[in-house]
Amino acid sequence: MAEALQGADSAQPVADLLESVGVELSDARQHVYLVTFARLLAATLAANPARRDPSGFSREQIGSCLQDAIDNPMADAVGGRPRSNQGGIVVKYVVFRETHQDGSYHFHIAVKLTSSQRFSAFKRTLLQRHGLVSNWSCSHSSFWSAVRYGFVPSEAKPVVDAQCFQWAADGLAWDLFEASQEPFRADSWRQRREKREKKDKQAEAEGKSIGFTKLDLLSLVLSKNLRTKRKLLTYAQNHGTVPMQSFLSKHQRRLPEFIEDALEWESAPAESAVEELTDWDLLCQAADQPCPHGDQCVYKTACDQIFELNAASFSWVSLAVALRSVIVSGPSKTRRVPFLVGSTNSGKSTLLESFDSLFGEVNVFHLPALTDKRFALRNWLRHKRFVFWDEFKPVQFAEAECLPIPQFLKAFNGDLFEIQVPQNAHDGNVDFRWTRGAAFTAKERGLFTPAEFVTAEDIFHIKARVHLFRCSARLPRLRGVPQCRHHLAQWIRAGASIFDAAGGLRPALPALAVEAGVDVGVGGGVQGLAELLRLAAIPEMVARSLGTEILELGAVHIRELSVQDWCELAAWGGLRPLQQRRLLASLQT
């Protein structure tokens, strides 16, 4: 090829140009190439009229020729199977033009493909279809490296193309400076640091200071898997350089913090990808993935037992629907927080603990300390995806002034409220609104007993923010059930799907003969409700509240409501024990 080409000028032979871009290996199979279209010799053009000098092309034209050759290659003369992917395989490319002293020029194109490919068919297509002679450098295994060759000035090439042409399959603009930067890799950074220290031994001998930075420490922690303070100190004492040992000694008390930073640095790309998903999308993704415990998942077996033994107390489909509602849209008066109550070993926590596995422990806001009256909620501000308060007693937290009633009501109604934080980081209060999922569990006995500073009316309003699910059956041997994000997501999505599918299959109930504009009265417009409340001798004010709530549920007839539905109404807490008993007796008759 060198005989057919000429370089920038007589001082730079073509061999030097091709050597600078990298070697061409005929058997290479890569997804990134740096393609060079060098100027042709006049004698070559005269002897081969079908060949074309790239100096007659624009950046966009030469890029289109390359894209056509890659996406629509001619059959390779050496045979082999045809390419299985018949669509476009070019992800993106950028065309750089380098001008010679006589005004002519040649091109470099950094191109990225969807998968690793051999270039022989592409090169042959460029020559036979477009008359272009090309060199396919195999020295660049990463796209950033190929882009950097044409974009970043160097000693050998101080002037670069300021008007390069970019193309991307998704049609979106992309930043060339960002694309030319080497991604962080712990091993590469550590090796670079070690190489630099070898060169700096002379400087150290002359008494010059050699630095060791925090990023050097992060790369060391990740590449050598030194994830505890003791492991890190031991490695530094046995294998560390003087600058490393000096840095660790100086910051010894902060090493756990630095190690945590290293782990956060490592997980950032994966966490960033997850952040792009909604909470429900993340749940559905987990449901589609295989169970890490295989066919013998203990969590799935435990869930099946809990749902079966508590079938008379609550419907697992209703729990799934309630969880989906708050996960998708956040809590409100009509999307109340699921609250599992019951005795010890009834499976309350077992059902919901796997939210830690689904969203990640650090992304779940767990029950704050009851003794922290001032800053109990400050961790809520740290980008949480879910609230899971296990063994949560709202009356006790309100009485201890850890979570006052007004703050609880606003927090789980989607309203703006304030969270107190230390004044050294803020003015003391941060405005906050929670619009994501939440779930509580607690032992039922004494859960809603009024206290000195928490009245029955306060408890009435607390109940209006939660959806109670009673786990009445006790299960033996529930300890040590491993979390399973897959089966948690599966039963929630399956239950919600069953509910949605059943919506169009329910039989029509008798229509109410109510004229427009007529006051529906105590019954709230729900057929049979007024008569039921009259028989149970329920006071009119409470009866109206019950009617309003039942109507908000979408009911048109009392036959739609189960005993569980009645007990979960916020107004139910406003009834006295004998009134509740009479109402339940009337329901049974």
The residue among 50 and 41 whose pLDDT is bigger is 50
Q: Is the pLDDT of residue 521 over 70?
A: no
CA-based torsion, 217, 222, 223, 226: positive or negative: positive
Confidence of residue 79 (pLDDT cuts 50, 70, 90): very low
Whether 466 and 319 map to the same domain: the answer is yes
Q: Is the pLDDT of residue 426 over 70?
A: no
pLDDT at 554: 72
pLDDT at 576: 79
Phi, psi angles (nearest 5°) of residue 129 = -90, -35
Q: Is the pLDDT of residue 154 over 80?
A: yes
Whether 125 and 95 map to the same domain: the answer is yes
Whether 292 and 263 map to the same domain: the answer is no
CA-based torsion, 51, 52, 54, 60: positive or negative: negative
Helix (H) / strand (E) containing 341: strand 337-342
Domain membership of residue 511 (yes or no) is: no
Confidence of residue 99 (pLDDT cuts 50, 70, 90): confident
Whether 208 and 320 map to the same domain: the answer is no
* Strands 437-443, 386-389: pairing kind: parallel
pLDDT at 304: 93
The residue out of 129, 154, 179 marking a domain boundary is 179
Whether 88 and 127 map to the same domain: the answer is yes
Whether 175 and 144 map to the same domain: the answer is yes
Domain membership of residue 293 (yes or no) is: yes
Average the pLDDT over 492-500 and give the result: 91
pLDDT at 254: 93
pLDDT at 474: 84
Confidence of residue 516 (pLDDT cuts 50, 70, 90): very low
For residue 431, the SS3 value is strand
Interior angle at CA 285, CA 279 and CA 288, nearest 5: 145
Domain membership of residue 396 (yes or no) is: yes
Task: Give 522's contacts (C-beta < 8 A, 6+ positions apart).
Answer: 529, 530, 533, 534, 540, 543, 544, 547
Whether 53 and 167 map to the same domain: the answer is yes
Domain membership of residue 510 (yes or no) is: no
The residue out of 242, 274, 306 marking a domain boundary is 274
Q: What percent of the chain lies above the pLDDT cut of 90?
A: 43
As to burial, measured by CB atoms within 10 angstroms (0-12 exposed, 13-18 middle, 19+ buried), residue 80 is exposed
Domain membership of residue 512 (yes or no) is: no
pLDDT at 505: 43
* 331 close to 465: Cβ distance less than 8 angstroms: yes
* 156 close to 114: Cβ distance less than 8 angstroms: no
pLDDT at 577: 76
Domain membership of residue 515 (yes or no) is: no
**Which residue range(s) make up the domain with 544?**
522-588
The residue out of 502, 535, 559 marking a domain boundary is 502
Average the pLDDT over 107-116 and give the result: 94
* 388 close to 439: Cβ distance less than 8 angstroms: yes
Could you tell me the CATH number of the domain that includes residue 376? 3.40.50.300
- Structure tokens belonging to residue 430: 């941060």
**C-alpha distances in angstroms, 402 versus 339, 392, 393, 558?**
19, 12, 11, 40
Confidence of residue 425 (pLDDT cuts 50, 70, 90): low
Confidence of residue 105 (pLDDT cuts 50, 70, 90): confident
Q: Per DSSP, what are the bridge partners of residue 108?
A: 36, 96
Whether 311 and 384 map to the same domain: the answer is yes
Instruction: Provide the CA 89 distance to its chain's centre, in angstroms.
Output: 27
64-76 per-position pLDDT tens digit: 999 999 999 987 5
DSSP 501-560: HHTTTSPPPPPP---TT---GGGTT-BTHHHHHHHTT--HHHHHHHHHHHHHTT-SBGGG
Nearest alpha-carbon partner for 70 in 46, 87, 52, 55: 87
7-40 per-position pLDDT tens digit: 434 434 455 555 555 567 878 899 999 999 988 8
Phi, psi angles (nearest 5°) of residue 377 = -105, 5
Whether 172 and 201 map to the same domain: the answer is no
* 464 close to 569: Cβ distance less than 8 angstroms: no
Give the whole-angstrom CA distance, residue 129 versus residue 65.
9
Q: What percent of the chain lies above the pLDDT cut of 70?
A: 87
Q: Is the pLDDT of residue 407 over 80?
A: yes
> For the chain, what's the residue count?
589
The residue among 201 and 101 whose pLDDT is bigger is 101
Give the whole-angstrom CA distance, residue 122 versus residue 136.
10
Could you tell me the CATH number of the domain that includes residue 85? 3.40.1310.20
Average the pLDDT over 455-463 and give the result: 91
Whether 471 and 557 map to the same domain: the answer is no
Q: Is the pLDDT of residue 475 over 90?
A: no
* 38 close to 133: Cβ distance less than 8 angstroms: yes
Average the pLDDT over 252-266 and give the result: 91
Confidence of residue 569 (pLDDT cuts 50, 70, 90): confident
Nearest alpha-carbon partner for 150 in 183, 129, 176, 185: 176
Q: Is the pLDDT of residue 458 over 70?
A: yes
pLDDT at 83: 54
Domain membership of residue 513 (yes or no) is: no
pLDDT at 202: 59
Confidence of residue 264 (pLDDT cuts 50, 70, 90): confident
Whether 115 and 216 map to the same domain: the answer is no
Give the whole-angstrom CA distance, residue 293 versus residue 106.
58
pLDDT at 204: 57
532-552 per-position pLDDT tens digit: 888 888 888 788 888 877 877
Roughly how many angstroms between the first and final C-alpha of the chain, as a whole number? 97
pLDDT at 559: 81
Whether 315 and 424 map to the same domain: the answer is yes
Give me the number of domains the chain comprises. Answer: 4
Domain membership of residue 485 (yes or no) is: yes
The whole model's pTM is what? 0.59
Average the pLDDT over 429-443 and give the result: 94
216-237 per-position pLDDT tens digit: 899 899 988 999 999 999 988 8
Helices 279-288 and 316-329, interaxial angle, to 10°?
A: 130
